[in-house]
A and B are shown apart, each in its own frame.
Chain A
């Protein structure tokens, strides 16, 4: 039976707690905590997207847009209207949920990859809105002056403090999602992935489950967007373009769609590749990306999360 072990989650929590302390003492990786903040933000998106792709079998190209909706909701409402950032996060997530409901309801009733097409169009429209509604969004130049976050009077004004905020949320979302996967809802999703006919004959409302997972993943992406905006204090539309939507899919493919762990592994890997390890290749960066993706799909069809199983297989021989 599918059981997600408590030990790996405890190890993950331990690594999260220790990481900034280690980074502080090793000069070479001092700035890694900053990259880890981005990796955490990506993880929030990929956890939801992995549930949607790996468990419900649907592809979304609109998650860059949901990420942007969260970021711009927070940015506009806090910087222009002075509202409470935490409330804005909630508003952004609800807005993303409504959008997801409107796109998901018609397109998820159909069999096949209609969601991919609908979200592709949605992503492009949202990107245009970010660029053109200059009065609100600042247009292509973006908008600055987004305030930082404070928690119970404590300003989260250092990289480390923000790191702990982001990764606490990631851990909470991860555990929450693991619980869903191991429940009747998770079984229903895995059933839908294999046979919609059999799932619905067993009383699973297939369309409703797909819409719910889509909404959940959209809300997580929006939450990630809000965290991103408050961390950088500046956003512009190019962060939320179609290439980022594809990059999210790359993260999930690299990490592996068969396991929820793949979401975090993929997000970490892509964050470090794009912010750190691939700088050396300059313009050829995109080629190296392609090569990494190619190698992993050929040699690790289940993604990096499938690696332990393969290694285990070697030792048994």
Chain B
């Protein structure tokens, strides 16, 4: 929130990830200014999700550095990174299906609350106050993402579009400064896609930086400030949407491919 507009919130330097004999990522260096929407596109297997997993601490890079707000984070565990202010959604929805819509968002408050098991077990006054704060904050977020009326429904029962939105809401509840969205529009119909796009814009307006992996080109071209194109783990292009649209290398690697399939 305090970062200057031009100050990078996240930088990747010399990241290499090798799985056995396969190089999944090879130095896709980039630096993302705070408060912008940066998309990562590329054909299947280009390394987009691997990159997300490295940024959020699920996988350690083989070599290279990830810096968040000037601090190195590439060896930290996912829960520590979440505390530092990076949150994410998953390509295959990973909601807590044993909980309600509201509880899913309340869980997102975990890194921003601190009551111990002992305090909760004894229902000490501060634990009750904190629980009330968690709930009211979660309700605010449900209003923001437009799911407030469904707060008491089981999360697994929502249609896919709303599940994806709820996952974004749960990630927002952690008060991230950077949110990584892994294909938020995949499998959504036109209306749902529209809702998701406006939500992502509204998130940027809150000052949160968005890192987006998405296959739906209309979404990407519409809402991104800048786009990075990966192919075989390497960066082949980077720039604003207009530039990427016309880049011959990109068309060959990605859009061209799609044209042939279509």
Tell me if A205 counts as interface (CB < 8 A to partner B): yes
Q: Are A187 and B78 in contact (CB under 8 A)?
A: no
Q: Are B99 and A190 in contact (CB under 8 A)?
A: yes
Q: Are B96 and A191 in contact (CB under 8 A)?
A: yes
Chain A residues with CB under 8 A of B130: 184
CA distance A203 to B174 in the complex (A): 8
What number of A-B contacts does a CB cutoff of 8 Å give? 106
Choose one: B96, B100, B117; the contact of A198 (CB below 8 Å): B96
Q: Are B107 and A202 in contact (CB under 8 A)?
A: yes
Chain A residues with CB under 8 A of B111: 202-203
Choose one: B56, B106, B117, B123; the contact of A201 (CB below 8 Å): B56
Can you list, as one digit per residue, whether each of B51-81 has a CB less than 8 Å from chain A (1) or not (0)?
A: 0000010100000000000000000011100
Q: Are A183 and B58 in contact (CB under 8 A)?
A: no
Tell me if B37 counts as interface (CB < 8 A to partner A): no
Q: Are A197 and B90 in contact (CB under 8 A)?
A: yes
Tell me if B88 counts as interface (CB < 8 A to partner A): yes
Choose one: B58, B110, B117, B131; the contact of A202 (CB below 8 Å): B110
Tell me if B217 counts as interface (CB < 8 A to partner A): no
Tell me if B108 counts as interface (CB < 8 A to partner A): yes
Tell me if A64 counts as interface (CB < 8 A to partner B): no
Choose one: B94, B110, B116; the contact of A195 (CB below 8 Å): B94
Tell me if A311 counts as interface (CB < 8 A to partner B): no
Tell me if A247 counts as interface (CB < 8 A to partner B): no
Can you list, as one digit per residue, whether each of B115-154 has a CB less than 8 Å from chain A (1) or not (0)?
A: 1110011110001001100100000000000000000100
Chain B residues with CB under 8 A of A176: 121-122
The CB with the most chain A CB atoms within 10 A, among B78, B103, B130, is that of B78
Tell me if A179 counts as interface (CB < 8 A to partner B): yes
Q: Are A187 and B117 in contact (CB under 8 A)?
A: no
CA distance A176 to B107 in the complex (A): 20
For B131, give the chain A residue with the smallest CB separation. A183
Q: Are A202 and B170 in contact (CB under 8 A)?
A: yes
Can you list, as one digit per residue, whether each of A181-193 has a CB less than 8 Å from chain B (1) or not (0)?
A: 0111111101101
Q: Smallest distance from the beta carbon of A105 to chain B beta carbons, Å?
A: 15
For B116, give the chain A residue with the smallest CB separation. A185
The CB with the most chain A CB atoms within 10 A, among B96, B99, B111, B113, is that of B96
Interface residues of B in 83-112 (CB under 8 A from A): 83, 87-88, 90, 94-100, 102-103, 106-111
- Using known A-B contacts A183-B127, A187-B107, A191-B107, determine if residue A200 contacts B120 with beta carbons closer than 8 Å: no
Q: Are B134 and A201 in contact (CB under 8 A)?
A: no
Chain A residues with CB under 8 A of B77: 200, 205
CA distance A280 to B6 in the complex (A): 81
- Using known A-B contacts A177-B121, A179-B122, A184-B115, determine if residue A202 contacts B108 with beta carbons closer than 8 Å: yes
Q: Smallest distance from the beta carbon of A139 to chain B beta carbons, Å?
A: 38
Q: Are A179 and B110 in contact (CB under 8 A)?
A: no
Q: Are B110 and A204 in contact (CB under 8 A)?
A: yes
Tell me if A194 counts as interface (CB < 8 A to partner B): yes
Choose one: A184, A191, A212; the contact of B99 (CB below 8 Å): A191
- Using known A-B contacts A187-B107, A194-B98, A203-B79, determine if residue A179 contacts B121 with beta carbons closer than 8 Å: yes
Choose one: B79, B95, B117; the contact of A204 (CB below 8 Å): B79
Chain A residues with CB under 8 A of B173: 202
Chain B residues with CB under 8 A of A187: 99, 103, 106-107, 110
Q: Smallest distance from the beta carbon of A231 to chain B beta carbons, Å?
A: 26
Choose one: A1, A191, A216; the contact of B117 (CB below 8 Å): A216
CA distance A183 to B128 in the complex (A): 9
CA distance A200 to B120 in the complex (A): 21
Please, could you name 15 A-B residue pairs with CB atoms under 8 Å apart, sorted by A? Answer: A2-B99, A2-B103, A179-B120, A182-B120, A187-B103, A195-B95, A197-B94, A198-B94, A202-B87, A203-B110, A203-B111, A204-B79, A204-B107, A204-B110, A216-B117
Residues of B that sit less than 8 Å from A by CB: 56, 58, 77-79, 82-83, 87-88, 90, 94-100, 102-103, 106-111, 113, 115-117, 120-123, 127, 130-131, 134, 152, 170-171, 173-174
What are the 8 A-B residue pairs with the smallest beta carbon separation, nearest first? A203-B111, A183-B120, A203-B82, A198-B94, A200-B78, A176-B121, A185-B117, A195-B94
Residues of A that sit less than 8 Å from B by CB: 1-2, 176-177, 179-180, 182-188, 190-191, 193-195, 197-206, 212, 216
